[in-house]
Amino acid sequence: MIASTSKPAHGVAIAALAATFSTTALSAPPADWSQIPVQTIKLFYPGQSSYDWLKSPAHKRADGKVKAGDSCISCHEGEEAEIGAKLVKGDRLEPAPIAGKQGVMDLQVQAAHDATNLYLRFQWKTQMDRAGQMHDYMMYDGEKWVFFGDARSEEKVRSGAEPPLYEDRLALMIDDGKVPLFKNQGCWLTCHNGMRDMPGEVGKEQVQAHALIGKTLKESDVRKYLPGTRSDDAASWDKTRSAEDIARLKAAGEFLELMQWRAHRSNPVGMADDGYVLEYRLSDEGKNPFSWNVDRKTMTPKFMFDARKVGAKAITLQDIGNASKPHAIIREENAVAYDAAAGWKKGDVLPGRLLSRADASGSAADNADVKGSWKDGMWTVVWTRKLDTGHPADDKALKPGSVVSVGFAVHDDNVTTRFHHVSFPMTLGIGAKGAISSTAVK
Ligand code: HEC
């Protein structure tokens, strides 16, 4: 519990206060975060520094050391700003730089825990002077609905034909010592050539034809995976081990926790998603809070805003970025079934994603208390995570007194895939000493 300076005079008052405090402390983040130490972490732009590149001779004389398992910071400690500045400009490992993008950013992290939960508080400044809360928007063009706006890396946004509209995100990877090398080499273990927006990006047909990634997982692109799930030294995307081998790795806990707070797809319902990385970047069992609000056969929205609740059935182009207008459709809060005959006008805009806290379920819905607010150019996200979610099949159980390895990433200013900022791996001690040490609050 956080020390309180108030000293009520009467025993009755003390008892009442203690009762109030213990209930709050058992189930809620610290009321006063100013009591919890702040760690400032440098996140930097990694460009296309894939694991393949790190193990190649182009990574000057370091390829052998990376293969041997040496940590990145054994050579790069304190170099985040320098590396970020070089890569973001396209001097190296970035064939398609985004003009004006910052190379490095500060992420402030605070951690606390009680017997039930881990509480994390994050703060970072956004490069853009508005919250990145818009994502997969659809616009009525006078005849039909079309997707509108996209990530800054897309040609239609680079050319100025459409506005940058892509949600801000905060991602957190955790390993409890089960994934070989994560402690030293962090998220780079999961980043390979062949993935989306990486060198040698594999085409849709090729992925769909692959027995595991295409036919079983039903995916059409390559996303993060762990080298241990591949059978060759290069950890090639298509050299997957057998389903039995992968199931054995999962049962042994050889996967990474990967959770993302999403400013459009989870924040409006007070959640973050919950996934893991093994043979692919996968969602935990159950249902996360977002799905499509688009009927792919008719290419029309499934829901529109409930005008009785938000004042209009849709927003308009002019409303984009206006904080007083709704930016997300939430099934149980502000949505009604789409009416094709509602008199749609050119420039009407509806989110192409449908959110629902009520429909989220299972292990995928574990991050049920994650709230971000954007003010004066800064996101503040307060994240409550059960130490033990009760879902060991796809979650890491965190124990007081233990130290885990963590990696952070922020997708800032309308970007996706590699265009994020990342941290070198570091330790988080839960009531134990780490680069970030969590403070016991009860
Ligand atoms: C044995 C020392 C060593 C280790 C270990 C090492 N690196 Fe490097 N790294 C280097 C050197 C040397 C360069 C080249 C610097 C240059 O060309 O100016 C480099 C370059 C880079 C670059 C390109 C940026 C630049 O300044 O040229 C990135 C990105 C990078 N390393 C990431 C990593 C990551 C991630 C890891 C951990 C998986 C890692 N390195 C491990 C020594 C190391």
- Angle, CA 246 vertex, CA 244 and CA 251 arms, to 5°: 95
Query: What pLDDT, in 10s, does the model give residues 197-246?
Result: 999 999 999 999 999 999 999 999 999 999 999 999 999 999 999 999 99
Q: Cα of 55 to ligand 1 centre, how many Å?
A: 10
Mean pLDDT of 346-370: 98
What is the C-alpha to C-alpha distance for residues 43 and 80, in angstroms, rounded to an integer?
7
- The reported pLDDT for the residue numbered 24 is 45
Which ligand 1 atom lies nearest to the CA of residue 424? Answer: 35
For atom 12 of ligand 1, the residue with the nearest CA is 60
CA distances from 367 to 30, 105, 262, 357 (A): 17, 25, 12, 11
DSSP state of 398: P
For a ligand 1 pocket test, name from 42, 54, 73, 189 the mutation site with the most ligand atoms within 8 angstroms of its C-beta: 54
- The reported pLDDT for the residue numbered 321 is 84
Q: Cα of 170 to ligand 1 centre, how many Å?
A: 25
Mean pLDDT of 416-424: 98
Expressed in angstroms, the distance from the first to the final Cα of the chain is: 4
With cut-offs at 50, 70 and 90, classify the pLDDT of residue 114.
very high
Which protein residues are within 6 Å of ligand 1, measured from CB?
Answer: 46, 49, 54, 59-62, 65-66, 70, 72, 74-76, 83, 86, 92, 185, 188
DSSP state of 294: E
Q: Cα of 273 to ligand 1 centre, how many Å?
A: 32
Structure token digits, residue 128: 């853009």
User: Lowest mean pLDDT: which of 12-16, 82-86, 237-241, 288-292?
Assistant: 12-16
The residues, any chain, with a CB within 8 Å of residue 214's CB and separated by 6 or more, are 207, 208, 220
Percent of the chain with pLDDT over 70: 94
Query: What pLDDT, in 10s, does the model give residues 55-92?
Result: 999 999 999 999 999 999 999 999 999 999 999 999 99
